[in-house]
Amino acid sequence: MDNNNFKLDVFQGLSAEQKYLSSKYFYDDKGSRIFQEIMQLEEYYLPECETEILVQQSGEILRQIPFDELDVIELGAGDGSKTVVFLEKAIQMGKRLTYVPMDISGDILEVNQQHVKERLGDLPVVPMAGDYFVTIKELKNREKPRLVLFMGSNIGNFQGEKSIEFIRFINEFLKPGDFFLMGVDLKKNPHVIRAAYNDEGGVTKRFNLNLLERINRELGGDFELEAFEHYGVYNPLDGAALSFLVSLEDQDVHIDGQQFHFEKYETIHTEISQKYSLKELDQMAVKTGFSWDRHFTDSKGYYSLSLFRK
Ligand code: AVI
């Protein structure tokens, strides 16, 4: 990670009228470990819903995709533990795949390859470490049809129009007839969403506060963690779950010679986790240049794997 960019982004965010920090900085080693804990939480229903759809409906999803041979390109693939279920089904159905997992972390891609090897033996895998906005361009000249996977409700972490820009970017990479499969958390009872970002055990609170700890560790900041609190809200009007850090005191914080003032109860906005309705997803598909879409939801109707065809 380039610490210079990190510092510039932190300085910019903490100098803004409404202070903010980008959620992409959650995921240092410690943050990634805490995120693994979140994924196991009773309140954080998302991974279980996604797994249920993959286990029960991979066959039906794959039946929509008419190619015998294709590249399956996964953005932000992580350890690939859920994707193997989908890949295994595709192989059973006689499809000849090349799996292209992309992730910013080369280490996690090694774990991914191990998983794939254990479950799927000699499936051709082409791991690509780095920023997928850059690495995906290296695939432009490959001939085979494409299915791009973007799982885990990561689309929810794009602010406003950025989600549309991102899906348009995927659309431009695809050829007519290619597919995009995206994991999306759906609008539902607001209490359920609120609890997912305010777990009883305080894991999400640790996750959020790790951002300040990371600034202390990597940029020599002097944040006092006890002087900040995690605050997670969900607004059913616009479907946005937002996370903040609240300053509990009037205080000054120093980072590498720069001073930042916090009024008592001033907030730092740290994350958006946008929720969508199926209707909004249909509109999104049209808006981003896709010609067809279909949604595969879990038994509770909490989550969708939405398939878009160019
Ligand atoms: C990675 N992302 C989809 C998670 C989410 O639900 O927005 C990150 C997260 N933040 C708090 N809990 C989980």
* Model confidence pLDDT, tens digit, residues 2-13: 678 999 999 999
| Ligand 1 neighbourhood includes 204 CB (under 6 angstroms) | yes
pLDDT of 2 reads 64
pLDDT in tens, 130-172: 999 999 999 999 999 999 999 999 999 999 899 999 999 999 9
Q: What is the pLDDT of residues 237-258, one digit of tens each?
A: 999 999 999 999 999 999 999 9
Q: What was the pLDDT predicted at 105?
A: 87
- Return the best residue to mutate from 27, 32, 35 for the ligand 1 pocket (most ligand atoms within 8 A of CB): 35
The finding on whether 152 has its CB within 6 A of some atom of ligand 1 is yes
Q: Which of 22, 103, 271, 274 gets mutated to test ligand 1 (max ligand atoms within 8 A of its CB)? A: 271
- Is the CB–ligand 1 distance for residue 159 below 6 Å? no
CA of 70 to the centre of ligand 1 (A): 30
d(CA 40, ligand 1 centre) in Å: 12
* Tokens 């819903």 found at: 49
Query: Which CATH class, in words, describes the domain spanning 46-188+276-309?
Result: alpha beta
- Whether 274 is in the pocket of ligand 1, judged by its Cβ within 6 Å, is no
Give the nearest ligand 1 atom to 273 CA: 7
**pLDDT score at 111:** 92
Number of H helices, E strands in the chain: 10, 13
Distance between CA atoms of residues 220 and 107, nearest Å: 26
Over pLDDT 90: what percentage of the chain?
A: 94
What does the alpha-carbon distance between residue 242 and residue 304 come to, in Å, rounded to a whole number?
21
Does 156 sit in the ligand 1 pocket, CB within 6 Å?
yes
User: Tens digits of per-residue pLDDT, 16-66?
Assistant: 999 999 999 999 989 999 999 999 999 999 999 999 999 999 999 999 999
pLDDT bucket at 228, cuts 50 / 70 / 90: very high
Residues in Cβ contact with 75 at an 8 Å cutoff, skipping those fewer than 6 apart: 102, 132, 136, 148, 149, 150, 154
pLDDT (0 to 100) of residue 4: 81
| Mean pLDDT on 76-98 | 95
The mean pLDDT value for 192-213 works out to 98
Q: Residue 274 is encoded by which pair of tokens?
A: 């946008």
Average pLDDT value over all residues in the chain: 96
Whether the CB of 153 sits within 6 Å of ligand 1: yes
In the reported structure, the alpha carbon of residue 149 is separated from the centroid of ligand 1 by a whole-number distance in angstroms of 18
Backbone angles phi, psi at 18, to 5 degrees: -100, 110
Interface predicted TM-score (ipTM) of this complex, two decimals: 0.99
Per domain, the residue ranges of the chain are 3-40+191-274, 46-188+276-309
pLDDT of residue 3: 79
254-301: pLDDT as tens digits: 999 999 999 999 999 999 999 999 999 999 999 999 999 999 999 999
| Alpha-carbon distances, residue 105 vs 108, 129, 181 (angstroms) | 6, 6, 22
Ligand 1 atom closest to the CA of 272, numbered from 1:
7
Inter-residue contact 268 to 244 (CB < 8 Å) = yes
Query: Atom 1, ligand 1: which residue's CA is nearest?
Result: 154
Protein residue with least CA distance to atom 3, ligand 1: 154
